[in-house]
Amino acid sequence: MAKEKLESILPKPSLLPASKKLLGKALLFWFGERKRDLPWRKTRDPFAIWVSEIMLQQTQVATVIPYFERFLKSFPTVEALAAADEQEVLKHWQGLGYYRRARHMHQAAKMIIADYAGVFPDTPEALSCLPGLGRYTRNAVLSQAFDTRLPILEANTKRVLARLFALAHDVDSSLGNKFLWEAAEEILPERDIGEFNQAMMEVGSLVCTVTNPKCNSCPLSPFCIAKRSDLVTELPIKKKKVVVTQVQELATVLVNKKRILLGKRPVGQRWAGLWEVPHDTPEEGETEAKALGIISRKYASVESKRFREIGKVIHPVTRFKITVRVFMGEVSGKGASDYYEELAWVCLSDMEKYPKSSPQSKMIAMAVKALELKKEV
């Protein structure tokens, strides 16, 4: 479709008062009838809502539910989270990914205890001082916990608003983002803000989907410019997808007397505070054997006479697709490292006590299985 057609129908984010009232009424009625039964919707506790919002960032609802329930069972209050050891918090987060979220939550909980006497802040200004709370998260927590009149904007509501107002710009551009925040604020009702914001996200998740949107059952359909203009499937506009770079790595599972050597990743690195087996990208032209030897010496100061391949793990990280071939080798000595914060020789029975990233958990599971099979033989 020609850009001129989109540009010509680009409206300002405004609705007549009567239309705004009808939109809000239709959306809230639909939400009351169709909303999913989710645990964080059964509370107005700002701490619990905050936990859910952080977990839901870049993570599907079905995945979050059991993590949310386990997390609150162990850390039911901001005081409990602040008092917990970081390793314990990371262990509860294991499998959710993006571990910086957990570290920021832990830091923020400590700040709430120190700076606000344990009372969860109830203003955007106060929440903006805490790590890991951007505009969306602040507004989501405050609107749901305190019904504060603040708009929200995330992936689902971006799509809904872009279609509702037929936004003719990249939704992730500065211009598009500004327009969508204004649009989100424009349609806010005077009351039931938390319910309204959740309803907008629910419509985006269940009805106004990326592909095959269900316009005939959408409560916003009568107000949607994209539907009237037959532009639903062409909106929202997004920039071209980022080219994914393929990365090849080798990982070394170092074994001594049926114990596996794990290193604790240093502060400032991805997955800081988590445990892993040494891994790296080999230099161009290096033989497999030479690369494995370099990795084991560089990260653990040990050597193995023989490595055997036990599996492969493929995982995406932002714009990279990383393929890790996993090798296991017997070594002697305690090991030492200038890279890792700490090294630990871990028995198979204690492996679950050490928080690890999902790719590392898969690698170590391969090693445990290989060692158990070797024991049986």
10 Å CB burial of residue 308 (0-12, 13-18, 19+) is exposed
Q: What is the pTM of this model?
A: 0.86
Can you give the pLDDT at residue 9?
43
* Residue 257 token pair: 């007397």
* Residue 362 token pair: 């898969």
Q: Can 53 be counted among the known catalytic residues?
A: yes
Separation between Cα atoms, residue 86 and residue 100, nearest integer Å:
12
Can you give the pLDDT at residue 375?
59
**Peptide linkage before 13 cis (omega within 30 of 0):** no
What is the Cα 282 distance to its own chain's centre? Answer: 29
Containing 53, the helix (H) or strand (E) segment is helix 46-56
Separation between Cα atoms, residue 225 and residue 234, nearest integer Å:
12
Quick check: 141 and 128 in contact, CB under 8 A? no
How does DSSP assign 138-185, residue by residue? HHHHHHHHH--------HHHHHHHHHHTT--SBTTSHHHHHHHHHHHH
Separation between Cα atoms, residue 209 and residue 353, nearest integer Å:
40
10 Å CB burial of residue 328 (0-12, 13-18, 19+) is buried
Residue 259's DSSP bridge partners are 256, 347
Can you give the pLDDT at residue 11?
55
Domains of the chain by residue range: 3-234, 245-376
How many other C-beta atoms are found inside a 10 Å radius of the C-beta of residue 292? Answer: 25
Superfamily of domain 3-234: Hypothetical protein; domain 2 (1.10.340.30)
Which among 4, 7, 33, 53 is annotated as catalytic? 53
* Topology classification of domain 245-376: Nucleoside Triphosphate Pyrophosphohydrolase (3.90.79)
Separation between Cα atoms, residue 40 and residue 65, nearest integer Å:
9
Can you give the pLDDT at residue 206?
97
Phi-psi category of residue 147: left, alpha or beta, with phi > 0 → left and psi -120 to 50 → alpha: left
Can you give the pLDDT at residue 5?
46
pLDDT tens digits, the chain, 377 residues: what are they?
444 444 444 456 777 778 889 999 999 999 999 999 999 999 999 999 999 999 999 899 999 999 999 999 999 999 999 999 999 999 999 999 889 999 999 999 999 999 999 999 999 999 999 999 999 999 999 999 999 999 999 999 999 999 999 998 999 999 999 999 999 999 999 999 999 999 999 999 999 999 999 999 999 999 999 999 999 999 999 887 778 999 999 999 999 988 999 999 998 888 899 999 999 999 999 999 999 999 999 999 999 989 999 999 999 988 899 999 999 999 988 999 999 999 999 999 999 999 999 999 999 999 999 888 665 54
How does DSSP assign 66-112, residue by residue? HHHHHHHHH--SHHHHHHS-HHHHHHHHTTS--THHHHHHHHHHHHH
Can you give the pLDDT at residue 12?
63
Q: Which of 182, 179, 184 is nearest to 156 (CA)?
A: 184
